[in-house]
Amino acid sequence: MSIFDRNLAPIAGAVLSLTAPLVLRSAQSSTAELHQNIEYARPGGAPLALDALIPAGKGPFPAVVIVHGGGFTGGDRRHAVAPLREALSNGDLVWFSIDYRLAPAYKPSDALEDLNTALRFVRDHAREFKVDASRIALLGESAGAYLVLMAAAHLGISQIQGVVAIGGPTQLWASAPEIVAHVEEVFRLKGEAELRAVSPISCVSTSMPPVLLLHGSNDNHVPLAQAQALCRTVQAKSRPCELHVIQGGGHSANEWAALPASGGFPPILNAWLLRTLAR
């Protein structure tokens, strides 16, 4: 059975079956195929799905796994990351957008396990997806940025070749009190010491893959100072890190669309990915 036949069973109010790929027209006028609702795992019997956009051409292509935000309690693989999916749909790489288990029923460590499972799934089916398994990057926003940074820190450059974090919390103890309270509840932890131990800035090592941080100057959820501190920490380990500040930008790429310079972040993102994932 082809991997593209592994669609989720229909549920009420949603159309999940896919008999043929949706054909999109890229900016380069080449044809790409969007495959939706591919089940990649079933932890505890609950299905988890991903969508995949595969460019035209023989490949293999570099790949990016997109991880949505939502405070660890919400979000989805489509609407929450629509600007990111669109930004990467240029025919140069394969992207995957995944769902993962959410709080309060599950902990962020379960979501991190789901991301690792999705990565294995992509590698196991790299040929069918036309993916070069030696050129895979992670891209996350908000809570998703936390997850991709933690995955990259633990897996290292041998398994992840680049990581992009948008509005990512890197110091879980260092946001506004109401946000810290939410984080403590979601992580089931208490106090700075416990939050520090599971913060990305505490997990950076000399095996960290190259890092790109995109952060809004007006982010009212995660202070810009957290991105600046992480970049310094990565560079102190002699690993590459770039920080691009979106002037006037809020917490997420969805909020950047209305900015006069909103067209600026996709070129930055794509140029960095193609450079970092080059053969």
User: What's the confidence (pLDDT) of residue 159?
Assistant: 97
Tokens of 209: 């893959």
Measured CA distances, 114 to 9, 17, 71, 209 (Å): 20, 22, 16, 20
Domain locations along the chain: 3-276
pLDDT of residue 30: 56
Helix, coil or strand: residue 234? helix
d(CA 245, CA 242) in angstroms, rounded, equals 10
DSSP per residue, 82-102 = HHHHHHT-SSSSEEEEE----
Residue with tokens 């993962």: 100
Name which CATH class applies to 3-276: alpha beta
pLDDT in tens, the chain (279 residues): 556 555 543 322 232 333 334 333 333 435 899 999 999 999 999 999 999 999 999 999 999 999 999 999 999 999 999 999 999 998 899 999 999 999 999 999 999 999 999 999 999 999 999 999 999 999 999 999 999 999 999 999 999 999 999 999 999 999 999 999 999 999 999 999 999 999 999 999 999 999 999 999 999 999 999 999 999 999 999 999 999 999 999 999 988 877 875 557 999 999 999 999 998
pLDDT of the residue at 16: 33
Rg (CA), the chain: 18
Predicted pLDDT of residue 257: 77
d(C-alpha 259, C-alpha 82), whole Å: 16
In our burial notation (b when 16+ CB lie closer than 10 A, e otherwise), range 17-42 reads ebeebeeeeeeeeeebbbbbbbbbbe
User: Which three-class secondary structure state does DSSP give residue 67?
Assistant: strand
pLDDT score at 263:
57
